[in-house]
Amino acid sequence: MVKKSLFDAWAHLLNLSKLKKGETVAILVGDITHPEHLAAVKSVLTMQGHVYYVMELGEAPSMGLAGDSTAAYAPTALASNPVAIDALTKSSFIVDLMGMYRGGEQKQILDAGSRILLVKEGPEIFIRMIPQQEDKARVIEAVELIKKSQVMQVTSEAGTDLVASFGKYDYLAQYGFSDEPGHWDHSPSAFAAAWPTEESVQGRVVLNAGDVILPFKYYLQTPINLDIKDGYITSITGGFDAKYLREYMASFNDPEAYAVSHLGWGLHDRAHWTGLGMYDKRQTNGMESRSFAGCFMFSTGPNIEGGGTRETECHLDIPMLDCTVKMDDVLVVEKGQLVKR
Amino acid sequence: MVKKSLFDAWAHLLNLSKLKKGETVAILVGDITHPEHLAAVKSVLTMQGHVYYVMELGEAPSMGLAGDSTAAYAPTALASNPVAIDALTKSSFIVDLMGMYRGGEQKQILDAGSRILLVKEGPEIFIRMIPQQEDKARVIEAVELIKKSQVMQVTSEAGTDLVASFGKYDYLAQYGFSDEPGHWDHSPSAFAAAWPTEESVQGRVVLNAGDVILPFKYYLQTPINLDIKDGYITSITGGFDAKYLREYMASFNDPEAYAVSHLGWGLHDRAHWTGLGMYDKRQTNGMESRSFAGCFMFSTGPNIEGGGTRETECHLDIPMLDCTVKMDDVLVVEKGQLVKR
Amino acid sequence: MVKKSLFDAWAHLLNLSKLKKGETVAILVGDITHPEHLAAVKSVLTMQGHVYYVMELGEAPSMGLAGDSTAAYAPTALASNPVAIDALTKSSFIVDLMGMYRGGEQKQILDAGSRILLVKEGPEIFIRMIPQQEDKARVIEAVELIKKSQVMQVTSEAGTDLVASFGKYDYLAQYGFSDEPGHWDHSPSAFAAAWPTEESVQGRVVLNAGDVILPFKYYLQTPINLDIKDGYITSITGGFDAKYLREYMASFNDPEAYAVSHLGWGLHDRAHWTGLGMYDKRQTNGMESRSFAGCFMFSTGPNIEGGGTRETECHLDIPMLDCTVKMDDVLVVEKGQLVKR
Amino acid sequence: MVKKSLFDAWAHLLNLSKLKKGETVAILVGDITHPEHLAAVKSVLTMQGHVYYVMELGEAPSMGLAGDSTAAYAPTALASNPVAIDALTKSSFIVDLMGMYRGGEQKQILDAGSRILLVKEGPEIFIRMIPQQEDKARVIEAVELIKKSQVMQVTSEAGTDLVASFGKYDYLAQYGFSDEPGHWDHSPSAFAAAWPTEESVQGRVVLNAGDVILPFKYYLQTPINLDIKDGYITSITGGFDAKYLREYMASFNDPEAYAVSHLGWGLHDRAHWTGLGMYDKRQTNGMESRSFAGCFMFSTGPNIEGGGTRETECHLDIPMLDCTVKMDDVLVVEKGQLVKR
Amino acid sequence: MVKKSLFDAWAHLLNLSKLKKGETVAILVGDITHPEHLAAVKSVLTMQGHVYYVMELGEAPSMGLAGDSTAAYAPTALASNPVAIDALTKSSFIVDLMGMYRGGEQKQILDAGSRILLVKEGPEIFIRMIPQQEDKARVIEAVELIKKSQVMQVTSEAGTDLVASFGKYDYLAQYGFSDEPGHWDHSPSAFAAAWPTEESVQGRVVLNAGDVILPFKYYLQTPINLDIKDGYITSITGGFDAKYLREYMASFNDPEAYAVSHLGWGLHDRAHWTGLGMYDKRQTNGMESRSFAGCFMFSTGPNIEGGGTRETECHLDIPMLDCTVKMDDVLVVEKGQLVKR
Amino acid sequence: MVKKSLFDAWAHLLNLSKLKKGETVAILVGDITHPEHLAAVKSVLTMQGHVYYVMELGEAPSMGLAGDSTAAYAPTALASNPVAIDALTKSSFIVDLMGMYRGGEQKQILDAGSRILLVKEGPEIFIRMIPQQEDKARVIEAVELIKKSQVMQVTSEAGTDLVASFGKYDYLAQYGFSDEPGHWDHSPSAFAAAWPTEESVQGRVVLNAGDVILPFKYYLQTPINLDIKDGYITSITGGFDAKYLREYMASFNDPEAYAVSHLGWGLHDRAHWTGLGMYDKRQTNGMESRSFAGCFMFSTGPNIEGGGTRETECHLDIPMLDCTVKMDDVLVVEKGQLVKR
């Protein structure tokens, strides 16, 4: 039996996504699909009379790490299935409970006008963070600011001092629902980001106790110093946490693992930094950490999704506390707090 | 865990169906899908490296009777799902574990060249009756005979005396695998049939103790006399069994229910007339009854699948014992025994 | 996931039962509870904001026969659980998916004003036969006729000739929903009946091929002659079917097994006599057989539920075809057809 | 959770079987194992502190028919597993929930002194027919009578007239528990039988309406005449039922299928002839039919289990009503009723 | 199948709770119910012949956090279900596997004399820590000491220096079973505590590495300084752990979150401080941490359960190592070790 | 359905283990058996035509801790089951998915020539670390080196300075498959170790941040100083981590808990030190930590498995980073890196 709270959350989400009669919905399922999400979304679609199909593909060519689809950034069985890709391009709305590879055929499907909504987080956090219409305005406003700024500057008392410029690649407006043709979103979340021009990223990022590296899903206990030069991390120093990060990245044996990926900040005002600490790793995908208002999200690895050419399996999202973010002269986050305007 | 016997049966079946690397396989699933079949076919496809997808649709607009998809001949949710139909037309091979409506979009999918293989029977009978290459030759030979004959005449000691002519509508070569573009088949089975020219069907059919009416799935205990005029059953007389049949057909409130549908005979030499008696209704779909060598299969209801215009939810398949079937002057079944040649 | 068709059926049923906000619903579950019914009714109650509780009791003191709660008419664990009984008397509406003993504490619960709705039939038949408001009018009209008549006379071409009088005991208006305080009903069904004055029942009942004895759940193939004297069956003669019935009743070793219980007729115009033949025994509780319009339902065993003192585990419901039922001079069923008025 | 009624039944059964501390119990499981039996027997053994192991073997070389292990009499995977056979020979007590092949390694295991108790019937009938100590006395007395008699003569009003002699092969004392080294039993049941000297079986067996052929699991509706000569059935005549039996036996293509196997009579006074009629085929193994007091059980096929050389997959148990059985001059069953002494 | 070790633990627990024949047991179940506990307690009750019912309520109005019912202290669906409340007040013994809201209707149920036993911990720890009769004596003796003392003083080398007085509110004797009318207990556990007079709590609590904050379920790595004034925490300072605690409490937006709740010490001599470190969060409810002998348990939030008026969803239990606890002049815990007397 | 990647891994593993037709395989299952491993190994054995049996024993006399069979080193139900032990000694190959007690009957089984392969790790890590033929060579070479050396010396910058001598007890060549009669292995893993002569172990072990204590399954954050004298740990000092270790070991109340067990180093070049950090405790058994190339594995507790007499439930495996290991004058690991030769 589908819980009312989950049914209502999905009904709200599909309504925000402007799902209309006559549209065909695809529900893509796979190993990581939460059965309660699948039952709930089918239930809402059925009760509301929408046309849908559930699609499951074969075994992925490579294996995920720790059951976390964010840990390895690699193609799925969809890549080699032209009939399935074609069906998805013809579907108005795709509920992605499988986790498409963002660097591959997803672009073709979005270009065809399909709306995609990815959901990997479990029901509890999903319900608690369910998107609201106003989240979009906040995210779009932030993305617009990135678009019109020349330089992003990030500083922190811990020692972070980073600059980056945008414009060469895409912008990432993630507000938790997908209401426009060709829009991809990941629910629940709310943050604004963009892929910087590679060489523009310079400086230093100092991670501090309490910062989170995803998919590691724990709070750092000790600082990590990252030197950034020409868009690449050139050194990782510090104590145990630094050693762990260094060894993890080295295990991919891939120079592109050290590239800087998208940069941005969290805008979700019902998400809590403390949320992650209440769950085991297997229970969460980390969307609350990625989204809490005022985090600066530094990330590493591929920029192929943003239109670049860097492709690597190693992708880290690193939401940071207590940073100050300026877009040109506009202060957007001050010591970890969103600047209200 | 998939049983070896079932794995081997599916591997054999897909091999007979000439499944090749590079083809995309669709597995259509629904309420009646046997989970062991689904696991087995996925397992074979995965082990052999084929590309496939599993597709499940929403709730059907009308409800089946007694969990038997053969009892009601009505559209499924596929009819209103153009994206799903389109995907199926692009799939080389379709394992239909859902049971498409044979009077609807199935034709469009076949016309596109997809091979369809329907499986509704449970694993035990499926394995026991698994098709062999030589079944096809026997079936094709029989269908060729129907095609070149002017008149089918069926008689029996019980009183059956029926004539029918073919040519206006399609022929049904059912041999249990689907090895040619646009071929639909239903596994396991082996029989030859055709939809007669409506008005050509004249005479009398006398069902006898031991004959089976599907989807009733029991052996008649008493004779039933059916008068046939201009392609329609005009009277149903006899004892309890006749009364049951009469009331059942009347419950559809549909004159087309009384039409004669396809006529033909069984050619499967590993199927047994006695098989049905070993199972509960829910355990079998009746494919063994439809297929045993030497049965004459009389059927009623729609001919839309064969190219006609008669459409009705009431469809009966009635495999009969001890009949003699002649195509023009060629004796094909004599007193319930296939004539060897 | 609850199917829409089942969700809608339960929503309709609870609406017919005039379930209102502020009422507390008890859902009583046990061994025979169909999980889809439980999920559906919980789902409807939750979505509509009703207050409910699910209650499960311990193991019953005696064991059912063939998993059919109608086969043995015996107390459950409820009888010895005063707290549970008390809670049920305080519940406005009881969805009985367990099957209370009708001869026991059920009366106390009904007397307290609780509405009880028993559901034992599986989802498919339940949906197909879902009650309608007009069923009640038809049933109530028939019960009123019984109440004001002196004598019921039942005859048939097969030889039935039975008379009975009512008035000493209760009447049974069963229309498939429970919309009045203290009303017990069993869904899906529609029939009118009453417990006759014991000694008034005299004559002969001749069961014929096609009649059904519940809980046997098969169509008789041969006639059975029942002599009835002073409210008791005094002889059972005929062929195999008679022998089976005779031995079955004898196995209870109880003279009260031979008593005549309630008498009445079916009024459900979407139920089919042929329905039973499509299912295995385990798949159905026989409500379609009990209810089809125009059946005469003869039954045997206890009348304690109707206010009498006869108590026995052996209770048979025997819906008969082709009878003519007259209440005084009013013809209500003629040769198995309801007389329209 | 194991039901108390089932727990108690197993505890009683193991107690009757004189299971003692220090004995090792083997529980053999397979496709037909009822999960409630497995849980119950493990629960009893654990609660009572017995040492046991559960053993499951690989896929059997041949497939059962209709999920009924009595339908095909063929080796299992045990035959090719010497380590498993050896472990069983060393186990004091074997709860066989898999169904060993009685013609094979079972003898070796029994010869080693292991007690074997086979259980294939479902929990409901198992509980209802649970053995009692006095069943053994009754069965042993009957077997002793067979041992000391020269000729068995069976007659019936329907026309049965059969003679047979014993002494060459084994006797079958089946009382539902296994309390002696090397004793095999099948619970629940109570009957006495023996494998006749092949050529001694002469005459005629006339099956009548109400008789049961296992594994067919239905009541015959029409008589079947079996001529028996020199221990073989030489003709099978009659109506539909005869035709069904004839075709079924013919489908094995094996002359030994027509041999007469063990002969005996039922001695279980809590079993009912009517029991079978309350269940679907899948729900029962037919032990109630085989055991009801006063049935004459005619059976066909192999005598290898009894020490003979006839081996065939086709084995039928045919409990008959209304027969009169005499051992020399001692009347043991008269018109289907056990003669009390 | 219920494990013997778990069956025995429950049997022991119900025996300690003086469950007697004739008493009615309610088993309250919900989302957090461990299925093995439910099966075990039903099994014990059934085997011992007790009368019971299982009751499940609808969806709770608010959602738990991280699947831990201790994380949010809020009403359940019971609050709005008067029939269910009434049934519980009439039940002699309640096995609460759902987790009633301790601030609500639980008082009414206890006042009616029902014994309540809450179990949220999983089977493994439950079995390892199963209560013993002597636990009660130890706990009662400690509670008596609290009752007769004027002042509790708690100190530690880490800097804790706290005073508190009792008498205005209730005392909490938690020994793991419920053997007296109106007694509530939570199994497994053993500790003594009381809700202090609000304003009497003054001083400083310094949490240290190794201390545990529940429901966080991890060992602190760094000290946290808590200033306490007039019964409220007025500042939380320190490193990462302090920041996490500060942000977590702030997320409730509720001044009462900072109130001091019950104070006491652990008395369970089979519980280990190290236990928590062996489990994932989802695997444990933290009862071992709350109970190990010699811990000082500081807690925050509501005192409504103790008879006060402070009500807040934020409730923390904080078992601390190495404290010294004095009740007036009596040393009860010295540097984390229970003082033996 | 068994995943192809897991099926292939098991097929590879059994092939490395030289499983041959005619050998009998035992699959030992228990509480910790991963259902996917069981299905996969049965599937491979069935597809390849091997003879096997699955054996499950009763409840173990003592309970595991935290669901981790490595946490407590204690006998299972096998110890008291001579029939099961005997069957295992007769089985050529044993897939141990239950976890036999290594100090008990396992020796008898190995001495009989059975090959044992223990698998406790979940499928994901199992697949990722699946053994290769070359792992054996590397492990054997390392074990040979231990055998011919007089002294092992281990040092680290953190302060470790330990010496030990071998020769009195067994050597442990663990390479992840079992290809020789009497060989026990644990898959996936690759390391070489030996049980030192008790009194020869002298010096100091300093654990450092990043080292792992199994079964704790977390990275140490602070150093722990262990003084070792005459083969026993005589003091454990440091911060929180030291306190935790000290209390944990003390909870066993057993002087032998402090003994030094086997010493050795990891040789698996596809295992990562960082792997452990990606999983929850319940998800992994820690085989990746035990095996990564260049770790020095210090372990404590029993040496009975190696032929000694120390027996204790407390067994810790402690893979350490950054150590330098010398066997006499041969440098085998230098600052945590395997010395290539």
In this prediction, residue A225 carries a pLDDT of: 98
Picking from F262, F266, F276, F261, the residue whose alpha carbon sits closest to that of residue F320 is: F266
In this prediction, residue D66 carries a pLDDT of: 72
> pLDDT tier at E122 (50, 70, 90 boundaries)?
very high
> pLDDT tier at A134 (50, 70, 90 boundaries)?
very high
Instruction: For D162, list phi and psi in degrees, rounded to 5.
Output: -130, 140
Do residue F1 and residue B47 have CB atoms under 8 angstroms apart?
no
CA separation for the pair E138, E134 (Å, rounded): 7
In the predicted model, is pLDDT for residue D68 greater than 80? no
Contact D154, D160 (CB under 8 A): yes
Any idea which residue has 């049923």 for tokens?
C13
Q: How far is E39 from chain D (nearest CA, A)?
A: 5
In this prediction, residue D186 carries a pLDDT of: 97
Any bridge partners for residue D292, and if so which? D268
**What would the pLDDT profile of C41-100 be if each residue is shown by its tens digit?**
999 999 999 999 999 999 998 876 776 666 778 899 999 999 999 999 999 999 999 999
**What would the pLDDT profile of A290-315 be if each residue is shown by its tens digit?**
999 999 999 999 999 999 999 999 99
Least confident of A18-32, B144-158, E271-285, F61-75: F61-75
Rounded to an integer, the average pLDDT of F234-241 is 98
Pull the structure tokens for residue C73.
Answer: 């008419």
Asked if the C-beta of F62 comes within 8 angstroms of chain D's C-beta atoms, the answer is no
Q: Are strands F330-334 and F337-338 parallel, antiparallel or unpaired?
A: antiparallel
SS (H, E, C) B207-263: ECCCCECECCCCECCCCEEEEEECCEEEEEEECHHHHHHHHHHHCCCCHHHHEEEEE
Contact E85, E105 (CB under 8 A): yes
Contact C333, C325 (CB under 8 A): yes
CA separation for the pair F245, F216 (Å, rounded): 9
Rounded to an integer, the average pLDDT of F207-227 is 97
Q: What is the mean pLDDT of chain A?
A: 96
Pull the structure tokens for residue C18.
Answer: 């005039």
Hey, of D31, D55, D83, which one would you mutate to test binding to chain F, going by the most F CBs within 10 A of its CB? D83
Neighbours of chain E (3+ CB pairs under 8 A): A, C, D, F
CB neighbour list of residue F144: distance below 8 Å, 6 or more residues apart: none
3-state percent breakdown (helix, strand, coil) of chain C, nearest 5:
30, 30, 40
Strand order in the sheet with A330-334: A232-238, A224-229, A202-207, A161-164, A152-156, A323-327, A330-334, A337-338
In this prediction, residue A65 carries a pLDDT of: 73
Radius of gyration of chain D (CA): 19
Restricting to A residues 24-53, those with a Cβ less than 8 Å away from any Cβ of C are 39, 42-43, 46-47
Hey, of E24, E53, E98, which one would you mutate to test binding to chain C, going by the most C CBs within 10 A of its CB? E53
Do residue E277 and residue F243 have CB atoms under 8 angstroms apart?
no
In the predicted model, is pLDDT for residue F64 greater than 90? no
CA separation for the pair D214, D288 (Å, rounded): 11
**What would the pLDDT profile of A191-243 be if each residue is shown by its tens digit?**
999 999 999 999 999 999 999 999 999 999 999 999 999 999 999 999 999 99
Contact A62, A75 (CB under 8 A): yes
In chain E, residues with a C-beta closer than 8 Å to the C-beta of C51 are 58, 77, 80-81
CA separation for the pair F99, F118 (Å, rounded): 7
Residue C316: Cβ within 10 Å count: 21
Contact A137, A173 (CB under 8 A): no
Helix, strand or coil for residue D203? strand
Do residue E7 and residue D42 have CB atoms under 8 angstroms apart?
no
- How buried is residue D98: exposed, middle or buried, by Cβ count under 10 Å (0-12/13-18/19+)? buried
Q: Are strands F202-207 and C152-156 parallel, antiparallel or unpaired?
A: unpaired
Picking from C276, C209, C199, the residue whose alpha carbon sits closest to that of residue C242 is: C209
In this prediction, residue A340 carries a pLDDT of: 84
In chain C, residues with a C-beta closer than 8 Å to the C-beta of B67 are 124, 283
> pLDDT tier at D266 (50, 70, 90 boundaries)?
very high
CA dihedral defined by B123, B129, B131, B134, rounded to 10 degrees?
170
Strand order in the sheet with B330-334: B232-238, B224-229, B202-207, B161-164, B152-156, B323-327, B330-334, B337-338
Asked if the C-beta of B340 comes within 8 angstroms of chain F's C-beta atoms, the answer is no
CA separation for the pair E103, A223 (Å, rounded): 43
What length is written for chain E?
Answer: 341
In chain D, residues with a C-beta closer than 8 Å to the C-beta of B3 are 59
Contact D166, D146 (CB under 8 A): yes
Helix, strand or coil for residue A295? coil
CA separation for the pair A127, C172 (Å, rounded): 48
Q: What is the mean pLDDT of chain D?
A: 96
Of residues A210, A221, A278, nearest to E71 (C-beta)? A278
Do residue B239 and residue C209 have CB atoms under 8 angstroms apart?
yes
Residue B35 DSSP one-character state = H
**What would the pLDDT profile of D1-16 be if each residue is shown by its tens digit?**
899 999 999 999 999 9
In the predicted model, is pLDDT for residue F202 greater than 90? yes
> pLDDT tier at D67 (50, 70, 90 boundaries)?
low
How wide is the angle at C-alpha F185 spanned by C-alphas F184 and F191, nearest 5°? 125
CA separation for the pair C227, A280 (Å, rounded): 73
* Segments in chain D forming alpha helices (H): 4-16, 35-47, 82-89, 106-111, 123-128, 133-148, 240-250, 287-291
Of residues C124, C210, C272, nearest to B240 (C-beta)? C210
Contact D299, D114 (CB under 8 A): no
Any bridge partners for residue B174, and if so which? B191
Rounded to an integer, the average pLDDT of C299-324 is 96
Q: What is chain B's pLDDT, residue by residue, as a tens digit (341 residues)?
A: 899 999 999 999 999 999 999 999 999 999 999 999 999 999 999 999 999 999 999 999 887 777 666 677 889 999 999 999 999 999 999 999 999 998 889 999 999 999 999 999 999 999 999 999 999 999 999 999 999 999 999 999 999 999 999 999 999 999 999 999 999 999 999 999 999 999 999 999 999 999 999 999 999 999 999 999 999 999 999 999 999 999 999 999 999 999 999 999 999 999 999 999 999 999 999 999 999 999 999 999 999 999 999 999 999 999 999 999 999 999 999 999 999 87
- With CA atoms as reference, the chain E residue closest to C50 would be E58
* Segments in chain E forming alpha helices (H): 4-16, 35-47, 82-89, 106-111, 123-128, 133-148, 240-250, 287-291
In this prediction, residue D69 carries a pLDDT of: 64
b/e string for F81-105 if b means 16 or more Cβ within 10 A? bebbbbbbbbbbbbbbbbbbbbbbb
Asked if the C-beta of A277 comes within 8 angstroms of chain F's C-beta atoms, the answer is no
Full set of structural domains in chain D with CATH:
4-128 (3.40.50), 133-338 (no CATH)
Residue D17 DSSP one-character state = T
Residue A302: Cβ within 10 Å count: 24
Query: How much is the pTM?
Result: 0.97
Picking from E337, B211, A71, the residue whose alpha carbon sits closest to that of residue F274 is: A71
Residue E337: Cβ within 10 Å count: 11
Do residue E51 and residue C45 have CB atoms under 8 angstroms apart?
no
- With CA atoms as reference, the chain A residue closest to E248 would be A274
Do residue B278 and residue D243 have CB atoms under 8 angstroms apart?
no
The enclosing H or E element of F266 equals strand F260-266
As a whole-number percent, the residues of chain A with pLDDT over 90 amount to 94
Picking from E68, E252, F279, the residue whose alpha carbon sits closest to that of residue A272 is: E252
Do residue E26 and residue C83 have CB atoms under 8 angstroms apart?
yes
For chain D, counts of helices (H) and of strands (E): 8, 18
Do residue A65 and residue F3 have CB atoms under 8 angstroms apart?
no
In this prediction, residue C69 carries a pLDDT of: 64
- With CA atoms as reference, the chain C residue closest to D127 would be C63
